[in-house]
Amino acid sequence: MLTALKVRLYPNKEQQTALIQNFGCCRFVGNYYLNKSNTQYQETGKGLSYCDMAKDLTQLKKQEEFLWLKDASSSALQQSLKNLEAAFKNFFEHRAKFPKFKSRHKKQSLRYPAGCSIKGNGIQLPKLGIVKAVISKKISGKIKSVTVSKDSTDKYFAAILLEVEDVPVNKEGKISGIDLGLNSLVTVFDGETTYKVDPIKPTRKYAKRLRRRQKSLSRKKLGSSNRKKQVKRVAKVHQKIANTRQDFLHKLSHQLVSENQTVVVENLCVKGLARTKLAKSVLDAGFGTLVNFLGYKLKRVGGILVELDRFFPSTKLCHCCKYKNDSLTLKDREWVCPVCQTHHDRDENAARNLREEGIKILSTNTVGHTEFQACGEQVRLVSNPAKKRCSKKQESHRKALA
């Protein structure tokens, strides 16, 4: 099993200079061969493969005008070519957009696929020596790679990819349905009790500080040193907002994972919600990040995450008599079922329906994961286009046996 740990780095001045040079070399190699591949494709109709780029890179470093590429780690330069090849592959398989040229004014990163180790209170990196680091926990396992990055506030981080042994954990706990919302970030129903957790809204919390610093930035002269300093001050506020949100979601997901064996959530279309009037609140809540945290943390301890289709009417469906209230609007926080006269809290009713539907799916699924067999194929419980989910028309069993 692969796991990752992100730590803070504190390089000295010499190491900072070397890292900046390495960032520049890897960025240049990626941009150079992206341009060369595009040019060759326009001329011959065929781009460059990784082997072609790697052979050409060896000859490129021998030229006098590119001798400075030898200052960087050769494995890091080779990794930048692999990243470019992966970007092209994702594009041709319709998983991502066409690769773009990297800029020196955005986040910088490079990956060391080999030659890294933990030495005391630091990390041994190729051609850099031991870089001081703050490692929060003991690292056990084989180091597969280390990705060093520098953010807009000039802070250095290292993401350590580790290969650890799979530890089978027979996790026992409850099955909970979780409804995501804006008034209450999560509404949890575990079969007995219901509780809500309100969002912290970090963007609105630091809006005044951000507005004040952005106003000061707009008055600075373009290209001046004072403007560069003010850009970092604005970036620190954005970083504070992101760190506050991430810390809250980590704590919330840890609490939900420790209390439950199975978590049932709905797969929301965050991109679609971000195009509405509630875009600021939706993005500030971090629905996608929370579901991502729940997924990998449950997998780590042997739990199960079930994602229901976003078109499942969890809010409009009465959990008592299954009556569907199509007249329900977003403003209606409470409603009364016209059939059984049950008074419903909107979020609590949705959490109950999600839990019940998740239990039905798990009882149908003999494997115990978020996929089950239907007509001999795997059907994912996520909101993919209908054409990709639907099976082709099959012959009946009688015709097949005839």
pLDDT digits (tens, 9 = 90+) for 249-277: 999 999 999 989 899 999 888 888 889 89
Q: Identify the active-site residue in 266, 284, 348, 357.
A: 266
* Residue of 179, 348, 356, 357 with catalytic role: 179
Q: Rounded to whole angstroms, how far apart are CA atoms 226 and 218?
A: 11
State which H helix or E strand residue 31 sits in.
helix 13-44
Q: Is 357 among the residues known to form the active site?
A: no
**pLDDT(381) > 70:** no
Residue with tokens 């019940």: 356
pLDDT at 388: 42
Q: Write out the two tokens for 233.
A: 């001050």
> In terms of pLDDT, which residue wins out, 379 or 150?
150
Comparison of pLDDT for 377 and 356, the residue scoring more: 356
Query: Which residue is associated with the tokens 């219901």?
Result: 194
Q: How confident is the model at residue 1 (pLDDT cuts 50, 70, 90)?
A: confident
**Is 347 one of the catalytic residues?**
yes
Write down the pLDDT at residue 256: 93
pLDDT given at position 290:
94
pLDDT of 52 = 92
Q: Model pTM?
A: 0.81
Distances from the Cα of 235 to the Cα of 76, 209, 214, 220, 224, angstroms: 28, 12, 10, 15, 17
Q: Specify the higher pLDDT residue, 292 or 371.
A: 292
Taking the CA atoms of residue 93, residue 98, residue 101 and residue 105 in that order, the dihedral angle to the nearest 10 degrees is: -100
Say what percent of the chain tops pLDDT 90.
57
pLDDT recorded at residue 384: 43
Q: What's the whole-number mean pLDDT along residues 134-159? A: 90
* 145 beta partners: 161
- Whole-Å CA distances, 347 to 205, 284, 341: 25, 19, 18
Mean pLDDT computed over 78-93: 94
> Do the bridges between strand 156-163 and strand 142-150 make them parallel or antiparallel, or are there none, so unpaired?
antiparallel
pLDDT of residue 367: 40
User: Of the residues 85, 190, 347, 348, which is catalytic?
Assistant: 347
What pLDDT does 303 receive? 87
Identify the weakest region by mean pLDDT among 66-75, 168-177, 198-207: 168-177
